Chains A and B, each alone.
Chain A
């Protein structure tokens, strides 16, 4: 018979609970029947007999253990919160630990994003302008802090043609100019990027001039308004 190992580990696990007298009557019977079969557990109980006897019955031991404090004591809010976050359960079931793991996983990603945000990616506001016969304008809010992407549709835009593009403010000052603009996509929409810092509140006028036989003729015009 094997004395190095418990024959029924599931029942053998109750060893110390039995020694302390903490098992229910049913489990006590189960364990005692097990003791009649398992040499390992019998030897363990026999070896620990005196210690277990003292743990169970000795007044000084009882006093020592009682000093740990009982659950019936009212717990403070802080202790209750700590108990909730760090309950007496296996490590994987502790909410505080789960929180820490989540934060540890998220924080590097947050750092990466915030760094990219400051150096590379900035939010933009976009407005799309259509060539209009009226003076109706599209608006853009300066206070948004976003850089402006201006999209403008030019139906007759031709590939590989360079257009002169100018944006002027209400006073006629040029705030943006490009003599060789050719950045139209397949839908004949051109886009330019205007940093927030160069814009002031007011109305703006975007004009395009089309090269024709060594001359520039007036092309479409667009208006937009920047609000404070």
Chain B
């Protein structure tokens, strides 16, 4: 990345495009996780444009990724602020609030059925993952989940990642060993 940045600063258009593509892909994913809707694309594009403008004019910070993430965060913050204002004047704010939590492309029903099937199997064989998921769905964050399960954060991450791997394998193979 540092090399690309240096090349882009020297006016290399290809390097600039490469940086834009690299950031856009990641920003879109992050914004989608944060917002869960179509606006993620616009926000990512906007953040990328800001970064490209700034890095031409200013000195590149040592930790480029953290700085770039800061720009994206600011864009997301602005968007949420505007939406908040919009919500206040809209009668059906409940509807929009709910819609913001939905994924933008409805999933394939067959995939959803398969996922539920796998989830049921994993709940049977791996109750600790099921328990952690249950607490996540109750709205608890990692620290509270750890307190409730009597484990440390490292162990919680292991449980979650192990459950994720089982789920991934189940979705591919259709069953768990």
Nearest A-chain residue to B143, judged by Cβ: A24
Q: Is the CB of B134 within 8 A of A16?
A: no
Interface residues of B in 42-81 (CB under 8 A from A): 65-66, 68-69, 72-73
* Chain B at the A interface: SS class: helix
Q: Given A45-B29, A49-B29, A64-B116, A15–B73 Cβ distance below 8 Å? A: no
| Count of A interface residues, CB-CB < 8 Å | 47
Taking CB atoms, residues of chain B closer than 8 Å to A51 are 115, 167-168, 171
Q: Is the CB of A20 within 8 A of B168?
A: no
| Count of B interface residues, CB-CB < 8 Å | 57
Q: Is the CB of B156 within 8 A of A65?
A: no
Taking CB atoms, residues of chain B closer than 8 Å to A88 are 128, 131, 149-151
Q: Given A42-B29, A71-B135, A65–B130 Cβ distance below 8 Å? A: yes
Q: Given A22-B145, A33-B65, A88-B131, A42–B116 Cβ distance below 8 Å? A: no
Nearest B-chain residue to A22, judged by Cβ: B136
Interface residues of A in 79-112 (CB under 8 A from B): 87-90
Q: Is the CB of B171 within 8 A of A21?
A: no
> Is A209 close to B, CB under 8 A?
no
Q: Given A46-B29, A51-B115, A68–B133 Cβ distance below 8 Å? A: yes
- Cα-based distance from A65 to B103 in the complex (angstroms): 19
Nearest-Cβ distance from residue B141 to partner chain A, whole angstroms: 5
Taking CB atoms, residues of chain B closer than 8 Å to A24 are 141-143
- Cα-based distance from A67 to B69 in the complex (angstroms): 37
